[in-house]
Chains A and B, each alone.
Chain A
């Protein structure tokens, strides 16, 4: 099963442009309240898409986040 909280954030990054802008400006602030492990939080902050994928982040979300997605 994919990790729910990681994927909720990825989904929001894909669909919510304002959230995405805030995330790009300051990922740590945006994720402060999120229920993430240290490893997950670090992968988000570094925007390490491969690591996020290994931690259960949906491939289809990771490749389709505007301006951040990458194959």
Chain B
């Protein structure tokens, strides 16, 4: 019987130069501290010897366009490419030195997709979507120069309204946990992004976060109050700039009822950074 052997969530712009430039030395120092913590988490993750690594993250209109934006999407196939875009935004350019291709865990991805459709989760499937910083910045920081476990990338639409509900994301995570339990694999699951930034997705408000909201979220996660988190409304997430918490909600469903252990929390101003682990063994 399969099990989740490691679970964590973390911010996904792990790029000191970006915060050095846009926030200053304080921002650079804070993200460097976070990176050290994430590297240590990666050692724990790899020590659990996962057969697959499910990565729940969002697209930044790098991969999907207004032609179609799936609420949730499973990447299937045998390999996935790193996104390559000429003159990409700086934290995607920071991925330039990383491997161009990563193996996928095809069987687990197919099972999440197919069992999902049987059980009422109409996930989209992609055979070609590449990975941007939301996936590869955390994966590369966690794994360092060791090979990443075969990946199962899972996208949640965090930014193009209408968004999936927090409770629905949690339910999708419960589904992933069931699929893992039915299978033969040891699986690591991470969610990336956040905490609050880009309130109301307003360009005029870029540079501000909502630390009071973030402290409340951290308290709920630490308390294992998953009902309180499922009750979060899209309006609350939008106003505070906590859109990417939807990724974390999927992870939360996968590990529920476990409570989070906070490994890092920092209030930077432009964004609040965090890294958390869940005891699942």
Residue ranges of A at the interface with B (Cβ–Cβ < 8 Å)? 1-2, 4, 7-8, 11, 14-15, 17, 49-50, 53, 58-64, 66-67, 69, 71
Contact = CB atoms under 8 A, between A and B. Distances in A.
A39 to B, nearest CB: 16
Nearest to B92: A64
Given A15-B85, A58-B201, A71-B22, A63 B206 contact: yes
B201 A66 contact: no
A59 B206 contact: yes
Contacts, number: 56
B270 to A, nearest CB: 9
A67 B87 contact: yes
Interface stretch (B48-56, B59-67, B224-232, B254-262): B59-67
Contacts of A17: 86-87
Interface stretch (B146-154, B156-164, B177-185): B156-164
A11 B162 CA distance: 18
Contacts of A14: 61
Nearest to A53: B203
Given A58-B201, A63-B203, A2 B161 contact: yes
A69 B105 CA distance: 36
A2 B22 contact: no
Interface string B89-115: 100000000000000000000000000
Contacts of B206: 59, 63, 71
B198 interface: yes
Nearest to B59: A60
Interface in B22-56: 22
Nearest to B87: A66
Nearest to B206: A71
Interface in B70-90: 85-89
B66 A8 contact: yes
B207 interface: yes
A63 B160 contact: no
A56 B188 CA distance: 38
Contacts of B62: 64
Contacts of B89: 63-64, 69
B198 A59 contact: yes
Given A15-B85, A66-B88, A71-B22, A50 B61 contact: no
Contacts of B88: 64, 66
A71 B207 contact: yes
B65 to A, nearest CB: 5
Nearest to B21: A71
B204 A50 contact: yes
Closest 6 CB pairs of A and B: A66-B87, A53-B203, A64-B89, A59-B201, A60-B60, A7-B66
Which among A53, A60, A67, A71 has the highest number of chain B CB atoms within 10 Å? Answer: A60
Contacts of B198: 59
Of residues A2, A15, A59, A67, which shows the largest number of chain B Cβ atoms within 10 Å of its Cβ? A59
Given A11-B65, A66-B86, A69-B89, A53 B60 contact: no
